[in-house]
Amino acid sequence: MEPQRSPLLEVKGNIESKRPLVKAPSRLPLPGSRLKRGPDQMEDALEPKKKRTRGLGTATKFVMSHPRAPALTTVPQTQGQISAPKVPKKTGPRCSTAVATVLKNQKSGPAVPAQKPGTAAAPPKLGGKKPSKRPAWDLKGQLCDLNAELKCCREKTQTLDQENQQLRSQLREAQQQATALGIERRTLEGELARVQAQAEQSQQELGNLSTHVLELEERLGTQEGLVQELQKEQLGFQEERRRLATLLEEQERTLQASEAALSGSQAEVASLRREAAAQAALLAERGERLHGLEMERRRLHNQLQELKGNIRVFCRVRPVLPGEPTPPPGFLLFPSGPGGPSDPPTHLSLFRSDERRGTLSGAPAPPTRHDFSFDRIFPPGSGQDEVFEEIAMLVQSALDGYPVCIFAYGQTGSGKTFTMEGGPGADPQEEGLIPRALRHLFSVAQELSGQGWTYSFVASYVEIYNETVRDLLATGTRKAQGGECEIRRAGPGSEELTVTNARYVPVSCEKEVEALLYLARQNRAVARTAQNERSSRSHSVFQLQISGEHAGRGLQCGAPLNLVDLAGSERLDPGLALGPGERERLRETQAINSSLSTLGLVIMALSNKESHVPYRNSKLTYLLQNSLGGSAKMLMFVNISPLEENISESLNSLRFASKVNQCVIGTAQPNRK
């Protein structure tokens, strides 16, 4: 059986079969859409069709035998008709409820076969369960029913909208809370990861330090055993030497007896000649042994220097000059060493009082104590000869083929230039390290010449001022021209550095060195500062290239000796007026502090065995790079002032020197060919 059609569809079918009607857009509410049109608009939309239907005559009048279909019922599809749109999955609760209501009403009212024309319609039942029957032509009544049902749907829609808005506001609040909790969770997770990473890094560093301490203890035990073995071997050599000396004395007595009997017998002459040949062989053997002992001495000497440290730091406190205030008692203390007052001091205690601090009772706070430890400390009463005696063995290493670099570091007026060059007068007691070191080298080279060694010395003296290299030994037209000096390699593939347009002077005696020092002192850049009337504003570098050769054995050795007087390390004065002269001092101080910082970074990088050492960040470190790392031996004098007014700069100098003193560089190797 064919499904029965609703009365409204039958009327439309009859009307369309007689005369085509113009289709107007439907204004009935669709599932899932908002009801925006009122009942008046709905009636106006259906009014033209009703009028046209009434004008068709008796052919369009039908009497329906089934009750009126409820509003928004689903019409069975036939060919040419459009099916009802499907409800989307994301339709809100209001639309879903409306569609469910329509489907329920449709199921509750099954279609009834239409009655024949002319049959009267049955009266509607008054039970409320089923809608009353209306004639098919009563479109206005059907429209009223639809409007009533539309009103109910709107009321339900408004209620559902309110519920939907409440649920959406609750959803937004929940989403905001979830977002805040997610951000807090990510923050806590990041903090936890950072803390865990720090803990792991600290644990790893602790393990590395423990391993390093064990390695150092093992190395120290090995070195001590080696020293004991060498001492035993040295005792054996001494016994052998005494035995050989005794034998030589016996041979000399035998030779004298043979010479006395020479006139008596030709046979005795021949015997004496044979004995003379034996003595010559013995002397050659002694020469070989003496050479071996000399090489052993160099090895033991270098080993002793390495045990002391390839980087050593000495502290020197200058005395109070005439006209300066006497420091308060107990301002600087030099505690005795483990052996008592006879031991050289290695510790320094500095007391600093701060008037701005105070106790609850109003009394001034006790002074703060700062303790420092270095390889050797020279109190104000230490002389130049005592200072040089401590570094004489290090200067000897330069003659043995090891690069040596000695720095004088400290603030302006702390005695750096006095330590390196000495006083301005001709007093031999005030000679600095440079003339004393060269005198020592000339003396030892003269002694080694008896063993076949020949040494040559070439000196140069330059300064680095505002990252510009200047020649302090320039004279005459060379000085007037002021040629630019650059640091270059000596040749392709060579590691040796030279300064272009700089003067290299061969020296062989003390007088020549004194003349060079006097000339350099006249050419060096100095200026008046707040700390000193005549302050060095540049780094001066005295380089002595040592070359040794043993022609008989084909041995060669060479190494540079660098004696560096660094510029004043005082910090910038924030209250400095920026006049023309002050701006120049400001640029000088910035360049000085930058190069000193680079020097500290280079030493730290060498100590940490880093792959990249920033030598090129400063002209000073670039010029001295062959004397800083690898086989080099370094010694730094930190010079401080005994005055209480310079305590801030003294503490900065001592702290920088303490960092350098903690660095360790690997085993040195001689530059031999």
pLDDT single digits (tens) 352-373:
876 555 455 555 667 788 899 9
What's the confidence (pLDDT) of residue 483?
61
417 is in an annotated binding site: yes
What's the confidence (pLDDT) of residue 271?
76
- Written as six digits, the tokens of 459 are 């000196």
Output DSSP code: residue 641.
-
Using one digit for the tens of pLDDT, what is the confidence trace for 180-207?
Answer: 999 999 999 999 999 999 999 999 999 9
Q: Report the pLDDT averaged over residues 328-341.
A: 80
Residues 471/485, Cβ–Cβ less than 8 Å: yes
Residues 140/98, Cβ–Cβ less than 8 Å: no
Using one digit for the tens of pLDDT, what is the confidence trace for 208-222?
Answer: 999 999 999 999 999
Q: From CA 227, how far away is CA 231, in angstroms rounded?
A: 6
**Among the listed residues 404, 420, 409, the one whose alpha carbon sits nearest the alpha carbon of residue 665:** 404
- For residue 564, which phi and psi values (nearest 5 degrees)? -115, 125
- Domain limits, the chain: 309-318+384-662
Using one digit for the tens of pLDDT, what is the confidence trace for 526-563?
Answer: 554 544 444 567 899 999 999 999 888 888 888 999 99
Confidence of residue 496 (pLDDT cuts 50, 70, 90): confident
Residues 233/299, Cβ–Cβ less than 8 Å: no
Residues 536/524, Cβ–Cβ less than 8 Å: yes
Range 367-394 burial, b when 16+ CB lie within 10 A, else e: eeeeebebbbbbbeebebeebbebbeeb
- Residue 316: strand pairing partners: 378, 639
416 is in an annotated binding site: yes
58 is in an annotated binding site: no
What's the confidence (pLDDT) of residue 80?
38
What's the confidence (pLDDT) of residue 331?
85
Model confidence at 23: pLDDT above 90: no
- Written as six digits, the tokens of 400 are 């043995």
User: Any residues with CB less than 8 A from the CB of 440 and at least 6 apart, and which?
Assistant: 388, 392, 395, 396
- For residue 73, which phi and psi values (nearest 5 degrees)? -85, 155
Which amino acid is residue 42, in one-letter code?
M
Largest CA distance in the chain: 188
At residue 57, the 3 state secondary structure works out as coil
Q: From CA 37, how far away is CA 312, in angstroms rounded?
A: 98
412 is in an annotated binding site: yes
User: Any residues with CB less than 8 A from the CB of 536 and at least 6 apart, and which?
Assistant: 412, 416, 417, 524, 525, 526, 565, 567, 568
CA dihedral (187, 191, 197, 199) in degrees, to 10, reads -160
Model confidence at 607: pLDDT above 60: yes
323 is in an annotated binding site: no
- Residue 368: strand pairing partners: 352
What's the confidence (pLDDT) of residue 450?
83
Residues 630/666, Cβ–Cβ less than 8 Å: yes
Model confidence at 4: pLDDT above 60: no
Kindly report which listed range (81-85, 230-234, 581-585) carries the lowest average pLDDT score: 81-85
Model confidence at 84: pLDDT above 70: no
Range 400-430 burial, b when 16+ CB lie within 10 A, else e: bbbbbbbbbbbbbbbbbbbbbbbeeeeeeee
Residues 600/660, Cβ–Cβ less than 8 Å: yes
- Written as six digits, the tokens of 499 are 């300064």
Q: Cα Rg for the chain, rounded, in angstroms?
A: 54
Q: Classify domain 309-318+384-662 by CATH number.
A: 3.40.850.10
- For residue 110, which phi and psi values (nearest 5 degrees)? -70, 155
Using one digit for the tens of pLDDT, what is the confidence trace for 29-43?
Answer: 444 444 344 444 444
130: left (phi over 0), alpha (psi -120 to 50) or beta: beta
481 is in an annotated binding site: no
Confidence of residue 170 (pLDDT cuts 50, 70, 90): very high
Query: Which segment, 152-166, 255-269, 280-294, 358-372, is predicted with the most confidence on average?
Result: 152-166
Model confidence at 610: pLDDT above 80: yes
What's the confidence (pLDDT) of residue 440?
93
What's the confidence (pLDDT) of residue 8?
46
Percent of the chain with pLDDT over 90: 33
- Written as six digits, the tokens of 292 are 């071996």
What's the confidence (pLDDT) of residue 480?
52
Kindly report which listed range (21-25, 301-305, 335-339, 355-359) carries the lowest average pLDDT score: 21-25
Residues 646/531, Cβ–Cβ less than 8 Å: yes
What's the confidence (pLDDT) of residue 286?
74
Q: From CA 210, how far away is CA 80, in angstroms rounded?
A: 91
What's the confidence (pLDDT) of residue 156?
94
- Written as six digits, the tokens of 212 are 């390093």
Mean pLDDT, the chain, integer: 76
Model confidence at 319: pLDDT above 60: yes
Percent of the chain with pLDDT over 70: 68
- Written as six digits, the tokens of 538 are 């540049």
Q: From CA 58, how far away is CA 47, in angstroms rounded?
A: 19
